[in-house]
Amino acid sequence: MKKIIAAITCIVLILGFAQEDDTSKRKLMVKTQLKARDISDSATLQAMSDVPRHQFVPENVKKYAYSDSPLPIGNGQTISQPYIVAYMTQALQLEPGDRVLEIGTGSGYQAAVLAAIIDSVYTIEIVKNLSLTAKDRLQKLGYTNVTVKWGDGYHGWPTKAPFDAIMVTAGADSIPQPLIDQLKDGGRMIIPVGPHHAVSHLVLVKKKKNKITTKNLIPVRFVPFTRKNKKN
Ligand code: SAH
């Protein structure tokens, strides 16, 4: 009996230390990769401190979960570098009551960061495998305000529109018109735009009284926005 209790205590301590380790890695990530650069929005910084990024990446890359880089998530896709996740989140100037659409669920990490700030997140993923895994993961982690759908995000989500903000996390060659149409008056969209498989720019789109303005922000490299031929 004593041996069993000692073994259980040991496991609890190891799990506790591992969790402590992830929390401190996350704190360091926020300090050195975000605050030290140009991320100052308090809601974004809080969300990046709270969301357990290591729970969104495959086992073999977990030890790199808090490093300053993108990581593979399977099916040839990637989870963006923490700085890019924070940069895109901050650029949308979110308010707690906002309804936001994300295109490119991937691991579900970006959706969780958005869900830590706002009321309702809708996210669409074209790869069925990734969509199902992300849905399950978000549910297990308790993100009840995220709705995941498998499909081609080009068309947006007309039955849930209009949105206060839209975030596209795959590199498109142009801004899909249906997404512009589904933005509210005063809505914002952030999307990487550029030639296929080349460097794109994050573009911030604003809609005001049916007038669309666009602003090129930083250069980025994203996996491509794909169309039609849904995989799996
Ligand atoms: N936001 C994700 C990472 C996105 S990687 C995260 O936090 O993990 C880009 C994702 O966009 C990939 O999973 C890719 O399959 C998906 N994607 C590409 N084209 C798409 C489309 N037309 N509709 C929906 N998802 C798309």
* 80 noted as active-site residue: yes
pLDDT at 198: 74
What CATH number does residue 144 fall under? Answer: 3.40.50.150
How far is residue 80 CA from its own chain's centroid?
A: 8
Q: Whose CA is closest to 167, among 209, 210, 117, 127?
A: 117
Candidates 80, 107, 131, 200; catalytic one: 80
Q: Is residue 231 part of a domain?
A: no
pLDDT at 230: 43
Separation of 170 CA from ligand 1 center, angstroms?
Answer: 5
Summarised one tens digit per residue, pLDDT across range 6-18 is 655 545 445 455 6
Summarised one tens digit per residue, pLDDT across range 82-123 is 999 999 999 999 999 999 999 999 999 999 999 999 999 999
pLDDT at 13: 45
Domains in the chain, number: 1
Q: Is residue 190 part of a domain?
A: yes
Summarised one tens digit per residue, pLDDT across range 171-182 is 999 999 999 999
Q: Is residue 21 part of a domain?
A: yes
Distance CA 182, CA 80 (A): 25
Residue to substitute in 48, 53, 81, 127 for testing ligand 1 pocket (most ligand atoms within 8 angstroms of CB): 127
Q: Is residue 106 part of a domain?
A: yes
Query: Domain residues for 84?
Result: 2-220
Residue 6: which H helix or E strand, with range?
helix 2-29
